[in-house]
Amino acid sequence: MIRALRERWRQGHRTMAYPAGAPVLPDRHLGRPALDPSRCLPDCHACAEACPTAAIDATAGLTLDLGRCLFCAACSQVCPRAAIAWTGDWRMATRSREALVVKDRELELAEALDARLRRLFGRSLKLRQVSAGGCNACEADVNVLSTIGWDIGRFGIQIVASPRHADGLLITGPVPENMRLGLEKTWQATPSPKLVIAVGACAIAGGPFAGHPEVTGGAAATVPVDLFIPGCPPHPATILDGLLRLLGRLSATDPVES
């Protein structure tokens, strides 16, 4: 016991400071893409042709759908004029699906819930995580948030075992037809008022499975979604940032710093 306490003392405080300070991200973290349509060559559609999920439209300017983006960087690799760059910015969650479709404007980050819902959920938010056909990548990054390094419990956020004990659902995966009924029943079992959070490209738009006849095209085709967190998978910092913005812990107008 003495050795264990001594080692714990030696290791010190392990929980990150975020949101008081920026998270330390690996160099390979791409983050939010930035578009510069003025760099595009006439009739060049190389980026759109390279995109595996049709997230890019280069026919009328340059538009990128973050909800469909897999962050594979194939678009920037084939672009001859560097019209698509990666900022390293982890802040990408939005309140609407439409806000994820960006062109040459700043991304509209998620706004907080209204005052009534913030009073209900602002200090204690219990979420039931639903893996609706996911590959376990998004699920793993959600699980990371409960570890000592992230400790979402310090914000009053907790993943619970039953929808009847939850304030909302956190959905990952493309929601295949075999999961549609299960997701509907889980949502119905969650007491009102309730929230729904779609995490990852699959849960937002079907991901690489979009258009498949056995895939519904994301969570919003089955249940109403209050928060969209893009990524494949989203970094834990992106997920945490979205949750904190939804609860009013961060302002939608906070400056973006990487």
pLDDT higher than 80, residue 60: no
Q: Based on the structure, what is the number of domains in the chain? A: 1
Residues 258 and 250: their CA atoms lie apart, in Å, by 16
pLDDT tens digits for range 31-40: 999 999 989 9
pTM: 0.92
Tell me what percent of the residues of the chain surpass a pLDDT of 90: 79
251 belongs to a structural domain: no
10 belongs to a structural domain: no
207 belongs to a structural domain: yes
Whether 167 and 121 have beta carbons less than 8 Å apart is answered as yes
CATH number at residue 217: 3.40.50.12280
pLDDT higher than 50, residue 257: no
Query: What pLDDT is stored for residue 254 in this prediction?
Result: 56
Domain that holds residue 188: 115-246
pLDDT tens digits for range 109-167: 999 999 999 999 999 999 999 999 999 999 999 999 999 999 999 999 999 999 999 99
End-to-end CA separation in angstroms for the chain: 41
Q: What would the two tokens of residue 44 be?
A: 């060049």
In the three-class reduction of DSSP (H, G, I as helix; E, B as strand; rest coil), residue 154 is classed as: helix
Stronger pLDDT, 60 or 94, i.e. the higher one: 94
- Comparing CA positions, the residue from 82, 195, 40 lying closest to residue 130 is 195
Say how many residues make up the chain: 258
